[in-house]
A = this chain, B = another copy of it.
Amino acid sequence: MPAPIEFYFDFSSPYGYLAAQEVEGVGRRQGREVVWKPFLLGAVFKTTGSAPLLDIPMKGDYAKRDMDRSARRIGVPFQLPTPFPFSAVAPARAFYWLADQNTMAAKDLAMALFHAAFGQGHDISAPDAVAKTAAMHGHDPAAVRAAHDDPAVKQRLKDEVQAAQDKGVFGSPFLLVDGEPFWGHDRLGDAEAWAKTGGW
């Protein structure tokens, strides 16, 4: 069994949302498990000196257009939620809390949260909003809400953010295929080719 593909993303990343639509297909076609690893870009931006993409002159306008065009190309709805950018702490904590019980359920919740944010434009930054989305997918909203304030869950997310940074992850989406890094939704094709061929 070949090693899993690691899929790093920030819940507030539009290109992370787009990659999430396609990454399981990559895994399926290449016979690889995909391990989802939400993290927080904020800490990395301090290291790389990056600003939020949409705030950058010229590049920001282009990015909005490119996100919309890329979503149309793969046939998924897309809008920027208000406010944007937003904090992805609450969705990421809920993800890891659930992933420790049921990996598939956590991926489903991640897709639901992404859809609420970038498909429907909702604010998913508040713990209550995350609990509400989770409730619609059969999870106990009180348990989700409590997990948000659980010191163990808080620490879990901190550890994952640090681990991502230690592996050189600096953007979203970001894939590691047998240790080879691929940054960006537009590198999914390269990542899949690497998984298929073992590299070139």
Taken together, the copies of this chain in the complex come to: 2
Interface residues of A in 27-52 (CB under 8 A from B): 44, 47-51
Q: Are A65 and B181 in contact (CB under 8 A)?
A: yes
Q: Known contacts A72-B200, A186-B184, A190-B73; is A47 also within 8 Å of B51 by CB?
A: no
For chain A, the bracket of interface size reads: 20 to 34
Q: Are A69 and B200 in contact (CB under 8 A)?
A: yes
- Is A170 an interface residue when CB atoms closer than 8 A count as contact? yes
Binds B, one of A1-9, A56-64, A82-90, A142-150: A56-64
Q: Are A56 and B61 in contact (CB under 8 A)?
A: no
Q: Which residues of chain B come closer than 8 Å to A51, judged between CB atoms?
A: 49
Interface string of A173-190 (1 = CB under 8 A from B): 000000001011011001
